[in-house]
Amino acid sequence: MMWRASGFRAWLLQRVSAVYMAVYILLFMLHLAFDAPDSYQEWRAWMMLPFIAVASFVFFAMLLTHAWIGLRDVIIDYVHPVGIRFVLLALVAGGLLMLGVWVLRILLMGVS
Amino acid sequence: MRFSIYRYNPETDAAPRMEECELPDSDIAPGMMLLDALRLLKARDETLTFRHSCGEGVCGSDAININGRNGLSCITPLSDLKQPIEIRPLPGMPVIRDLVVDLGQFYHQYRAIKPYLIVHDPEPETEYLQAPEERDQLDGLYECILCGCCSTACPSFWWNPDKFRGPAALLQSYRFLADSRDQATAERLEELEGPYRLFRCHTVMNCVDVCPKGLNPTKAIGQIKKLMLKHMA
């Protein structure tokens, strides 16, 4: 079956990203609660463990996707004039992309 | 007993207004429904306009907004209502006069989901057979009387009544998707794809809250999404 438009895929991504984020945040909090790093160096080293780094990267990718679908939904609901809708969607996409670049920079800076 | 009733005649009134009116308590009998009171009010002022037919919650023509909640006036006991009883037409629909609204968009969305069995095989010589368990799948779906209480209580339907199918039409869509005799599952699901027709539902659940027949359109919408997931695989 062909899924041309973005209704079903967007809904599925929203659900999947929500589950991933819930699990990530829970494990992250558990780690902070039971095995909190003593120093900045230790915290940095933990964040740079390959598994944690990849998981964190995926987390932020999911977060941005989730935010995009949610904000897109709000705009589709309430903003009907095509021009304003386009501008708002572009602003949201631009803002989220910038946040993405920023996150990526922080994560990569830690690696180098 | 005091009432506050939405009045609007587009031919003579510049804007809608709320009319305060009263019925003497001697007119109110125990067990009376709101529709009975509306009939008494109409006897005093025959310009008051509202739809009604069967008077027992079967036809669905007397759906109105009662104290801020959609419901059928014929099965709403007067004794349950806080006074003054505020009566308005169904929200979000164009008003034709007083409590009568134009449900054209509602019916358009209903027609769009093809509310009938679609069978690709040659028609059987005898009747279509269905096991009792298969028939059970339609419980909670077939009872809908299309009164419009749910769709006109749905914020997503208020904002996009021309594109979002609305809870009533989606419940009926699932009624045919769930029917063992229907053979158009893929077509039906494909027709609902896209950001508007099905996926404007944000599970607000106003539909479940107001349905006078106690049905659950939100659950039906969830089942449609599950079916889509299955058909994806």
Q: Which residue has the tokens 């990569």?
A: A108
Do A48 and A111 touch, CB atoms closer than 8 A?
A: yes
Report the candidate in B148, B163, B126 with the shortest Cα–Cα distance to residue B72.
B148
- The share of chain A scoring above pLDDT 70, in percent, equals 93
CB atoms A7 and B198 under 8 Å: yes
Average pLDDT over residues B121-148: 94
* pLDDT tens-digit readout, B39-63: 999 999 999 999 999 999 999 999 9
Distance CA B62, CA A74 (A): 33
Query: Could you give the ipTM of this predicted complex?
Result: 0.84
- Candidates B199, B200, B227, B231, partner chain A, best to mutate (most A CBs within 10 A): B199
Question: Which residue from B minimizes the CA distance to A11?
Answer: B199
pLDDT at position B233, please?
66
B197, B198, B200 ranked by CB distance to A77: nearest = B200
Tell me if the bond preceding B84 is cis, omega within 30° of 0. Answer: yes
Q: What residues contact residue B25 under an 8 Å CB cut-off, 6+ apart?
A: B1
pLDDT at position B156, please?
96
pLDDT at position A109, please?
80
Total number of residues shown for chain B: 233
Q: What parts of chain A have a pLDDT lower than 50?
A: 1-5
B159, B193, B196 ranked by CB distance to A3: nearest = B193
CB atoms B199 and A12 under 8 Å: no
Do B210 and B153 touch, CB atoms closer than 8 A?
A: yes
List chain A domain ranges: 18-109
Average pLDDT over residues B3-8: 97
Q: Which residues of B touch A75 (CB under 8 A)?
A: none
pLDDT at position B124, please?
86
- φ, ψ of residue A17 to 5 degrees: the values are -65, -35
B186, B193, B231 ranked by CB distance to A7: nearest = B193
- CATH number of the domain at A18-109, out of 3.40.50.880, 1.20.1050.10, 1.10.10.10, 1.20.1300.10? 1.20.1300.10
Q: Which residues of A touch B191 (CB under 8 A)?
A: none
CB atoms B199 and A8 under 8 Å: yes
* pLDDT tens-digit readout, B26-39: 999 999 999 999 99
pLDDT at position A107, please?
86
* pLDDT tens-digit readout, B156-214: 999 999 999 999 999 999 999 999 999 999 999 999 999 999 999 999 999 999 999 99
- Encoding tokens for residue B30? 């125990």
